[in-house]
Amino acid sequence: MRRLRNVKIVATLGPASETYETIRALHEAGADTFRLNMSHGTHEEIKEKHKIIRQVEEDLSSPIAILADLQGPKLRVGVFANDEGEDLVEGEKFRLDLDDTAGDINRVNLPHPEIFEALKPGAHLLVNDGKIRLRVEDCGKDFADCIVVTGGRISNRKGVNVPDVVLPLAALSVKDKKDLEFVAELGVDWLALSFVQRPADVLEARELVRGRASVLSKIEKPTAVENFDEILEVSDGIMVARGDLGVELPVQNVPPIQKRLVRKCRRAAKPVIVATQMLESMIESPMPTRAEVSDVATAIYEGADAIMLSAESAAGDYPIEAVTTMNNVAVEVESDQTYREVIEASRTSKGEEVADAIVAAAREIAETTEVSAICCFSQSGTTALKVARERPRVPIIAMTSRLNTGRRLALTWGTTCVITPELDRFKSCVVASVGAAKRLEMATDKDQVVVTAGLPFNMPGTTNIVRVAPCDERLILATEPE
């Protein structure tokens, strides 16, 4: 399915979007990737959504990426004797401890000894998405005496963030490991890791995944920002998860971090998703706010590969309208001349491999001659990722004989994936490219396309050919060497 935009749209599935009819409508409205949130739903429910997505994919002959998002370690306080909770007052004292008796106005259980092991006086604890802020005055192996910096209502099992220290927590809980094995066997394309702090967290997941899915790291902790270069190196993709990031860091820090991480991902030719609260008001309203539209537009101007809907499509009243709005904003932004100026001004230096030179040449040819599309043959997807890094002005057609590669590329900027049989001659590659460009209405007989491929054929990492080919198949058959 051809899109009239380059940025991809990720839609989270949930109670508002779990039927065949809705999932198909979401894809037709613009969703390229579907996110399965492993924090909600049983394995049977996840399996059913996966089955429906694959049915939509087959019915529409359109590769769709499925992203399974692992829950990660969830840190929460215990329960209170008063089910409605307690109101903490600024300047008052409050204790967190390992005592599992019900809490009161003075204390509550925090059933995470690993937090107490890492805490130091002066560290901050954030409760209920940062609405309550506590500063540690004194602490030990089973307690933390705090001062209430920002007060508010604290109630049963509210989440806790610890922004100031690296917690001795594995990124994968026991539940996460079970979920990982389940979705990897099920056949998802991307696996998102929550609360990554260090490269070792990603490497642990990669070892368990064993190549069955691409691994995407969610950046939502200050320590992940500090270790980002090393995390990016061992990840296949990145999600800038601004929700928790905006809780653990001052909110004004998030926009420049977002911009910086997006550029680093583009330089590394790895997909990056900008996520969280992009069209939050559309959970209950058929129209977004102007600020939300500007937020979506900013991520597109920055060159993000994908933008994501969470509760808007999973539990909102207007899931299809939310996807349609995101699609319309993307089409409008990408038709703006300023968009091209920003994208081209932020183009990074070329890599050092032959494939880097080939894709850079393909982009330059496409922008200086009358070329309608760049068609790249890519078995592993690496060449298509490098072409996307160039952010060319013409469409990118990713040709591959591997369905799983085509699916994973559904998260990559500007790519339209076409599944082909395995080809063993360059002339066949050219013919297949021209046929795909014309079927997708990206070219006519009078046009030309750029074709990149590699010899020997069907081997990852061998891109070494760039060719400008006519779209008139009679000319191809008459002039193209075998």
Residue at 231 is within a domain: yes
Closest CA to 136 of 128, 127, 147, 126: 147
Same-domain status, 95 and 146: yes
What's the rounded Cα separation, in Å, for the pair 132 and 84? 16
Q: What is the pLDDT of residue 144?
A: 97
Same-domain status, 297 and 212: yes
Same-domain status, 68 and 153: no
Give the distance from CA 219 to its chain's centroid.
10
Residue at 96 is within a domain: yes
Same-domain status, 389 and 463: yes
Same-domain status, 62 and 151: no
Same-domain status, 334 and 375: no
Residue at 2 is within a domain: no
- 422: tokens are 């395995």
Domain boundary pick from 110, 126, 161: 161
DSSP 131: T
Same-domain status, 253 and 296: yes
Please state, as a whole number, how many other Cβ atoms lie within 10 Å of the Cβ of residue 244.
Answer: 23
Please state, as a whole number, how many other Cβ atoms lie within 10 Å of the Cβ of residue 372.
Answer: 20
Q: Which residues contact 471 (CB under 8 A, 6 or more apart)?
A: 372, 434, 437, 438, 443, 444, 445, 446, 447, 448, 449
Q: What is the pLDDT of residue 465?
A: 87
Say which CATH number the domain at 136 has: 2.40.33.10
What's the rounded Cα separation, in Å, for the pair 430 and 423? 10
Same-domain status, 213 and 332: yes
**Residue positions annotated with a catalytic role:** 35, 76, 218, 276
Average pLDDT, the chain: 93
CA distances from 32 to 222, 287, 309, 340 (A): 30, 22, 12, 22
Domain boundary pick from 280, 306, 338: 338
Q: What is the pLDDT of residue 350?
A: 65
Domain boundary pick from 161, 186, 216: 161
What's the rounded Cα separation, in Å, for the pair 43 and 300? 34
The string of pLDDT tens digits covering residues 312-322 is 999 999 999 99
What's the structural domain count of the chain?
Answer: 3
Q: Which residues contact 424 (CB under 8 A, 6 or more apart)?
A: 457, 458
Residue 431, φ and ψ in degrees, nearest 5: -60, -45
Residue at 324 is within a domain: yes
The string of pLDDT tens digits covering residues 162-195 is 988 888 887 798 999 999 999 999 999 999 999 8
**Mean pLDDT for the stretch of residues 254-272:** 96
The string of pLDDT tens digits covering residues 369-389 is 989 999 999 889 999 999 999
Q: Which residues contact 200 (CB under 8 A, 6 or more apart)?
A: none
- 150: tokens are 């920002």
Cβ-count burial of 147 within 10 angstroms (0-12 exposed, 13-18 middle, 19+ buried)?
middle
**Mean pLDDT for the stretch of residues 38-64:** 96
Q: Which residues contact 404 (CB under 8 A, 6 or more apart)?
A: 189
Residue 481 has pLDDT above 70, yes or no: no
Q: What is the pLDDT of residue 478?
A: 64
Name the residue range of residue 34's domain: 8-72+170-338
Say which CATH number the domain at 260 has: 3.20.20.60
Cβ-count burial of 477 within 10 angstroms (0-12 exposed, 13-18 middle, 19+ buried)?
exposed
**Mean pLDDT for the stretch of residues 238-264:** 94
The string of pLDDT tens digits covering residues 113-126 is 989 999 999 999 99
Residue at 177 is within a domain: yes
Residue at 344 is within a domain: no
Please state, as a whole number, how many other Cβ atoms lie within 10 Å of the Cβ of residue 234.
Answer: 16
What's the rounded Cα separation, in Å, for the pair 241 and 278? 11
The string of pLDDT tens digits covering residues 422-461 is 887 888 888 999 999 999 999 999 999 999 988 777 677 6
Same-domain status, 475 and 379: yes
Same-domain status, 140 and 123: yes
Q: Which residues in 312-428 belong to E strands, given as ranges?
A: 373-377, 396-400, 415-419
The string of pLDDT tens digits covering residues 325-352 is 999 999 999 999 999 999 999 887 667 7
Q: What is the pLDDT of residue 432?
A: 92
